[in-house]
Chain A
């Protein structure tokens, strides 16, 4: 069994300030890790993913996440947020080695304050 914990349900941050959204996972086997973003009344969009290789992965809009195996974490960071980053962010995990079910965290609402 695997689980994902997003401790912060809401994160308010001022525009142009840095932000970190925390994600910790639990699994008995090796995993793939994902961050998805959901804008109001829309589906989820893949933001970035860690499959293998470099533990630091980046998205095209300035977000990055680092896979830390020892701490079982995959925190999402952005050095300077914009109003348009206001959305719900979901961390997700799936087991390696053939398709397995994806487990989602409960989500973190990022509220960027002008």
Chain B
């Protein structure tokens, strides 16, 4: 089946630093990838839709200058949390579409901002 990887799996950083998370589709090309945020014991919240070669589409309430998304190739999308603060600590999950309707998810990245 389709495999999506994320790197790193976890990261701890100081407040004010920027953190980059990579999402890769390993065995298929994904023109569309998605970034989600998940708080403890809650469902996934879609942050943005990432399209290869174009600007990401952000959901309402998500700061585009805070969460920079780049989808440089058909197998790689990156999420950069700029000037991270403790409230940005969360579990970030990416997904990629194979075909037109099924999303496959990465293993997630746990971010802890001190």
Q: Is the pair B103, A43 in contact by a Cβ cutoff of 8 Å?
A: no
| CB atoms of A99 and B106 under 8 A apart | no
Among B41-65, those with CB < 8 Å from A are 42-44, 46, 49
Q: A43-B6, A44-B93 are in contact. Are A104 and B102 (CB under 8 A)?
A: no
- A56 in the interface (beta carbon within 8 A): no
Chain B interface SS verdict (over half): strand
Q: Does A78 contact B (CB under 8 A)?
A: no
Bound complex: CA of A51 vs CA of B106, how far in Å?
A: 22
B3 CB to nearest A CB, Å: 11
- Interface range for A: 20 to 34
* Chain B interface category by residue count: 20 to 34
Smallest CB gap from A36: residue in B: B105
| A32 contacts B by Cβ under 8 Å | yes
Q: Is B25 an interface residue (CB 8 A)?
A: no
Please give the residue numbers on chain A whose beta carbons come within 8 Å of chain B beta carbons, in ascending order.
32, 34, 36, 41-46, 49, 51, 90, 94, 96, 98-99, 101-102, 104-107
Chain B positions near chain A (C-beta within 8 angstroms) = 1, 4, 6, 32, 34, 42-44, 46, 49, 93, 95, 97, 100-108, 110
